[in-house]
A = this chain, B = another copy of it.
Amino acid sequence: MDIRSVAALAKVSIATVSRTINQVPTVDPELAARVWAAIDQLQYFPNSQARALVSGRSRLFGLIVSDITNPFFPELIQGFEQVAVEHGYEVLIGSTNYDPKRVELCIRRMLERKVDGVAIMTFGIEEPLLAQLASREIPMVFIDVGPDHARSTVLSIDYYRGILQGVAHLAGLGHTKIGFISGPLPLHSAQTRRDCFLTAMERVGLKSNPAWMLEGDHTLEGGRDAMGKLLKERGIPTALMCSNDMTAIGVLHALFEVGMKAPEDLSVIGFDDIHIAEYMLPPLTTIRMSRTELARSAVDALVGHIDPERSGMVPPKVKIETELVVRRTTGAPAGRG
């Protein structure tokens, strides 16, 4: 069941069928009607493999994320897919589990599938990989940092704004002892968030304490373990900012296990504002980064690179804002001096 059957039934050439399907305006309405009727009758739909092969366009986007298991990403994926489908694209997803080798593998797989563009929405990518990518001609979108290359755009996130708001909020509450649990430090964006925190601390006139600067890994376990370390070895600050919400939830859990809780014993701020953050007990104060905005910008950038005229100019950089959302895990410090 192929284009030929349709042509035969509609008594036209296969070219006419092709044109009809592809909305070429010069098709006689009469013939077009016959073609559509035949298509309906045969329940025909085009073979996208063949289409892709001859046209050189797969209408497929790759979307690479760090960890599909971290709720931030599914929320991002959902937005990405929706916008992509609006533009007539399908989405191929790859999850890397923060493993640079898997990033490479994913990209490779996507190249083989001849994706028309790939969004590398993993926070922080290692430098050598970037170099490899730089030589590719397919459109790409990155977060925070990417190769400087005509067909790629980097979406840059204004971490500082939200983090400063967070630190200021804590300082306003009377906290002076504030710790920070970062993501995996080899990742660029984990470092950026950490640096923003340090800068923000200075800005509000507070001293940061290296003993309270921990490295996590953006997972629940990482947050729990980092908090455990603080509890056991280092003594705890009165407030803690976390590089993402999963880490913060892990912290809350570690606190619970030793009979402490937020905000009475420790104020906690997360990052991302995943949907479930609001449902934590107590609801998590966090810094929101809009994944719908991120998703839309990413797809827009990609389609912009593919047909620049149809979509207007693509700005080379896009700024994504972050913003503090105060809920119930932050409060005045206890009188522990």
Report which A residues bind B (CB closer than 8 A): 45-50, 52-53, 58, 68-69, 71, 73-75, 77-78, 81, 90-93, 95, 108-109, 111-114, 220, 224, 249-250, 252-253, 256, 261, 275-276, 278-283
Residue pair A50, B47 in contact (C-beta under 8 Å): no
* Smallest Cβ-Cβ distance to A114: which chain B residue: B49
Which residues from chain B contact A81 at a C-beta distance below 8 Å? 93, 95
Residue pair B90, A113 in contact (C-beta under 8 Å): yes
Partner of A68, one of B78, B224, B279, B283: B78
Closest CB-CB distance, A55 to chain B, in whole Å? 10
Which residues from chain B contact A78 at a C-beta distance below 8 Å? 68-69, 95
Residue pair B95, A46 in contact (C-beta under 8 Å): no
Which residues from chain B contact A249 at a C-beta distance below 8 Å? 276, 279
* Smallest Cβ-Cβ distance to A58: which chain B residue: B49
Partner of A276, one of B77, B113, B220: B220
Residue pair B95, A93 in contact (C-beta under 8 Å): no
Residue pair B281, A112 in contact (C-beta under 8 Å): no
Closest CB-CB distance, A119 to chain B, in whole Å? 15
Q: What separation, in Å, do the CA atoms of A275 and B246 have in the docked complex?
A: 11
Residue pair A112, B69 in contact (C-beta under 8 Å): no
Residue pair B75, A69 in contact (C-beta under 8 Å): yes
Shortest Cβ-Cβ A-B pairs, 3 listed: A281-B281, A49-B53, A253-B279
A90 touching B90 in the complex, CB below 8 Å, given contacts A49-B49, A74-B73:
no
Closest CB-CB distance, A110 to chain B, in whole Å? 9
Q: What separation, in Å, do the CA atoms of A280 and B58 have in the docked complex?
A: 43
Which residues from chain B contact A250 at a C-beta distance below 8 Å? 279
Which residues from chain B contact A71 at a C-beta distance below 8 Å? 69, 71, 74, 276
